[in-house]
Structure 1
Amino acid sequence: MNKRGIMIWSLLILGVLMMSCSNKKKVTITILIQGEQSEQPLIVYRAPNIASISDVPGDTLYPDSKGRYIYTTPHPRGQVFQFELGSGESRYVSSPLFISSPEKYKIELKNNPEQKELSVTNFKGKNWKGIMQFLDFVQFIRTNSTETKLNYQGPADSFMEHLGDEITRELEPFVNFYENVEIDASFLNFATQYISYWYAYQGLELINQNLKVTQKEELAEERELWLQHKEELTNSFSTTSAELQWSNHFEDYINEALYQLIDQNRADYDEALRQSAGQTWALTHIKPLIHPDLYPIYALQYLSDKSVRLDTETITLFKELEKNHPKLEGYLSYQLLVNEKIPQIEKFNSKKVDLASNQAVILDDESPITQFQQIRNLFWGKYLLVDVWASWCPDCIAEFEHKEKVDAWLSSQQISSLYIALERSPDRERWKKYISHYGLKGYHVLADKTLKQDLYTLLGSSSLWIPRYFLINPLGEVVVADLATPTDWEEFKKQIQAAMVVVQE
């Protein structure tokens, strides 16, 4: 790494650049949307950092007689702005823009239907060169989102040097702008942290991938190097740093640290889950690893995500968070919890189990099902669609939105349905309450460790990503091991019908 690269890296790690402050001035932004002639409202989101920009309510603007949207707001310090036009399938959102100074700015936006975004085509105001360079980087990561981000396939011993060179190369223009007094220190700090934490997160993902493929004994030395790199990377880009607020992977980055904690303390965490205290364990252990200013933002998002579990523990933790951090009302996660998710939790826990009205049948109430062969025997001579799910899995719950059309279509094809739950708690009554709550018509089994292991063997995998759908033919054979989900409705039906035709032939 060259001297300038070392200088950039040092700035990043030490976080020596400070955000400018101004308590009385305002920022005024004039926005034009190219080709937009209607009275369509524009929503402006503003937040003190990237970490919370997706969790704040927006201000709605309407164009004036000249088609301009004019937005004026107090500017106590550097702020992030984002713009949204339309809704639903016609919703377009801009990249985040960091504005450091209370001045006047002009922005031109244009609909980009292919990527469902509002592209910034022109920007006038302080730091404009830095902003346009930053937007080029955001466009790069958006258009390369399905590729290997770091494009690194080399050995472990040169990975960190490669990562440092990539960050240096990406930050070089911003350093030049700063040295030529074309951007200020606040904007340089923003760009440095955003880009560096983006690469750091991609680096962690790449390291985790390599840790999965270096588990063989003959690769032990290579694996040890990847483990050292992971430790070095997490120390250099710490979750305890306030600079994490400028990362677009804010929540993912902290989640990665939490997953590592759970892996290191698996027995304790599993016991907490059995005691319905998993969320308490997670927040208690992750809190010391997060900067105090960022902890309430993360905790709020975490509880909102975990509310899918419908545990009263979420309510208890939310009340505690609200008491200790009383200024959270402005966050969308807070409003969603108060107005929707907590009432849902309360309603769920006050209801009684009603399996009969859902036409739900529990197969393992009287005797345990520990081998998949038992299921084969029960459904011999029939097609069987198996849905592997869990009450703690948001993606699984999201698929239940399609259950009515799935049930109707399966009935028309004479296919039975079986739900196998991979719960983390052995509480059968609570499991049945989930079945009743979501209205899951069909047959049900709560998998124990033995059945889970049998499923891994059956599907040829050492682990199961859920939701997982697979199809069993009348001979008890797996004919499609990984079906499309009902969200991809036409592909879901197509794969099942194709498998049934093959069997009939």
Structure 2
Amino acid sequence: MKLSQLILIMLLGTFAICHGKRSDIIIIGKITGKIPETIEYTLPISGIDFIGFKNSVQPDSSGNFQIKLNTEKACFIELFTHFNSYGVIIAEAGMNYEVFINTEIKENKFKVVSKNEKGQALYNQIPNRSMLIGGHFELETKKYSKDSIVSEIKQKLEQKKETEIIEFQKLLKNKIISKNFYNLVQSDRNYYYKGAQGSLAFVNYLLSAQNKNSLSPEQYKELWKEIFESNPVHSSDLLTSPWFYYYTENYLRYQELIVKETTTAAISQYRKQGLIHTHNISNAKKHLTGEQLEYYIAAYIYYETINKNYEKELITLFEQFKTEYPSSPYTLFLEPEIISIIAFHKKKEEPVNDKIKFIGNLTNINSVKDIAKELSGKQYYIDIWATWCSPCKAEFKDNTKLYELLKSKNITMVYISIDKENRENQWKDMTHFYNLEGYHIRANERLDADLRTLYGNQSMGIPWHFLTDENGVIIKKSLKGPSEIESLEKQLNEVNP
């Protein structure tokens, strides 16, 4: 062999190594504006995308970061921080992507430079392209809550889908995007709008118990059944869509409530027995198999654990999952959430902090002003929360800084829970677990109504933080929470220079 040929072979070998595997996806990112501590991104396991199965990367001081993934399938990769989405990359194996994120503007804050650049931009303009932004299927479903003609509902949903898809068809026809890119978007949009149709049927089913449904049982059953005939759950296309979990959840509800005709009263019994999750997973095992079942159970356990209701039942189900799927790639993401449940129940055995004080005479406390009468502070920082509110509980991790700030300002901490009476024990357990120092009250119906009047909307958004004077009169209606302690300090300085 000639020396020149040998050198060429060596160079080609080196070149192949430097460029990595054909299945590698490399994302080079640049952040402009405020640089977050980490950029989180969904990990497409076997091409499947779910917000719970994720990893993170730390940008450098200039806002640069790099993500390297290995997958043989085209997939969605969503970038976000603390569940605030920046955008989505529709990625293909062996391709490189440049991503530009601007954290200081609302419009066009996310740009992807790649072979499919125009398609990337178009997809990120779709209002409901993300579980983090779209709110599952509910935002779309609400638009048809008063509609009572099935054919018109289906036509409207189909038109919306086609309006979105046609723009991608134009890009495909002109060879501006790849066929893989187009197929992924088409499947995603199909399942999103069929999912919205199924969600609307489910909402009408629930409302029928109160005679508030817009569709008759025959109509919503027809609407519901049709989607699983045209877009079956067992299709491999669904596994490529971020909507797999919620679409499958809707399918399992249909099987239980409509096909099997299980009553809501029977389901309530499982909940009272502390076996609702066991029941739901058992139902999934009747209708799903293989990769779909493994993924669904893992996603179910993750979704329920991040609600931070700390049910012991989930620990048992996780152990069962590990036994049934000993090599599952999803176990890694479930373990940290399960550990927090174990810690919650261990904490219950410890003495309660004497700085956690429950206000008595609940029947006489019907307003914020009544709370002030029971106490003797000069000002009150009031946190409205509930045990079922994940964003509320996420704020508690920064409470140490909050308590230091309030003490320096001579402001009394008051927590008001809007939990119902049946969550009394859970409410007290959580105040102990999160070590919520201050005064506590669980709102009765009159106090709850007073809070909604003060908020200015019956759909009160929580967590809600506000400041009152010694008489319970609001001084500042909207304050930052402990996670934004510097901004909160500025707000309090405006009131108390």
Question: What's the TM-score bracket when you normalise by the shorter of the two chains?
Answer: 0.5 to 0.7
Q: Deviations over 1:334-390 (max 9, x none)?
A: 22433x333333333234242235x111224xx654742553531377533332333
Within 5 A, what are the aligned runs for 1:167-316?
167-172=161-166, 189-200=183-194, 231=224, 235=228, 242-253=236-247, 271-285=269-283, 293-307=291-305, 308-316=308-316
The 3-state SS of whatever aligns with 1:445 is: strand
What is the deviation of 1:319?
Answer: 1.1
What is the deviation of 1:443?
Answer: 1.3
Distance in 1 of aligned mates of 2:290 and 2:458: 38
Q: Is the counterpart of residue 385 in structure 1 residue 381 in structure 2?
A: yes
Q: Deviations over 1:28-63 (max 9, x none)?
A: 558585999xxxxx9995532243586266999xxx
Give the corresponding residue for 1:354.
351
Distance in 2 of aligned mates of 1:499 and 1:256: 49
Distance in 2 of aligned mates of 1:112 and 1:243: 30
Distance in 2 of aligned mates of 1:481 and 1:258: 43
Give the corresponding residue for 2:37.
none
Within 5 A, what are the aligned runs for 1:31-180?
46-52=44-50, 55=53, 75=72, 78-80=73-75, 82=77, 95-99=89-93, 105-114=94-103, 119-123=111-115, 131=116, 134-141=119-126, 156=147, 158-172=152-166
Give, as a single letter, the amino acid of the residue that structure 2 aligns with 1:196. Answer: N
**Share of identical aligned residues, percent?**
20
Say what the alpha-carbon RMSD is for the aligned residues: 5.5
Q: Deviations over 1:439-492 (max 9, x none)?
A: 210112345xxx146403541355554323344443344566665433344554
Contact 1:371–1:454 (8 Å) recurs in 2: yes
Distance in 2 of aligned mates of 1:497 and 1:230: 56
Give the corresponding residue for 1:420.
416
Distance in 1 of aligned mates of 2:188 and 2:294: 21
Within 5 A, what are the aligned runs for 1:463-502?
464-477=460-473, 483-489=479-485, 492=488
Distance in 2 of aligned mates of 1:498 and 1:179: 58
Unaligned ranges ≥5, structure 1 = 1-25, 37-41, 61-68, 100-104, 124-130
The 3-state SS of whatever aligns with 2:237 is: helix
Contact 1:270–1:424 (8 Å) recurs in 2: no
What is the deviation of 1:304?
Answer: 2.8
Q: Is the counterpart of residue 325 in structure 1 residue 339 in structure 2?
A: no
Distance in 2 of aligned mates of 1:74 and 1:315: 31
Give, as a single letter, the amino acid of the residue that structure 2 aligns with 1:276. Answer: G
What is the deviation of 1:318?
Answer: 0.5
Q: Deviations over 1:15-37 (max 9, x none)?
A: xxxxxxxxxxx83558585999x
Contact 1:46–1:82 (8 Å) recurs in 2: yes
Distance in 1 of aligned mates of 2:117 and 2:187: 17
Aligned partner of 2:449 among 449, 456, 464: 456
Distance of aligned partners of 1:33 and 1:327 in 2 relative to their CA distance in 1, 3 Å threshold:
closer
Give, as a single letter, the amino acid of the residue that structure 1 aligns with 2:98. Answer: L
Contact 1:29–1:71 (8 Å) recurs in 2: yes
Unaligned ranges ≥5, structure 2 = 1-20, 32-39, 59-65
The 3-state SS of whatever aligns with 1:398 is: helix
Distance in 2 of aligned mates of 1:137 and 1:301: 28
Give the corresponding residue for 1:434.
430
**Number of residue pairs matched by the alignment:** 436
Moved more, 319-328 or 268-277: 268-277
What is the deviation of 1:297?
Answer: 2.0
Contact 1:380–1:476 (8 Å) recurs in 2: no
Give, as a single letter, the amino acid of the residue that structure 2 aligns with 1:80. Answer: C
Contact 2:199–2:250 (8 Å) recurs in 1: no
Distance of aligned partners of 1:46 and 1:347 in 2 relative to their CA distance in 1, 3 Å threshold:
closer
Give, as a single letter, the amino acid of the residue that structure 1 aligns with 2:318. Answer: F
Q: TM-score normalised to the size of structure 1?
A: 0.64
Contact 1:150–1:199 (8 Å) recurs in 2: no
Give, as a single letter, the amino acid of the residue that structure 2 aligns with 1:122. Answer: S
Contact 1:84–1:118 (8 Å) recurs in 2: no
Give, as a single letter, the amino acid of the residue that structure 2 aligns with 1:198. Answer: Y
Moved more, 428-437 or 203-212: 203-212
The 3-state SS of whatever aligns with 1:391 is: coil
What is the deviation of 1:95?
Answer: 0.3
The 3-state SS of whatever aligns with 2:186 is: helix
Give, as a single letter, the amino acid of the residue that structure 2 aligns with 1:486. Answer: P
Q: Deviations over 1:46-84 (max 9, x none)?
A: 532243586266999xxxxxxxx9989684xx3437598
Q: TM-score normalised to the size of structure 2?
A: 0.65
What is the deviation of 1:293?
Answer: 3.2
Distance in 2 of aligned mates of 1:470 and 1:265: 42
Q: Is the counterpart of residue 400 in structure 1 residue 396 in structure 2?
A: yes
The 3-state SS of whatever aligns with 1:327 is: coil
The 3-state SS of whatever aligns with 1:95 is: strand
Contact 1:353–1:436 (8 Å) recurs in 2: no
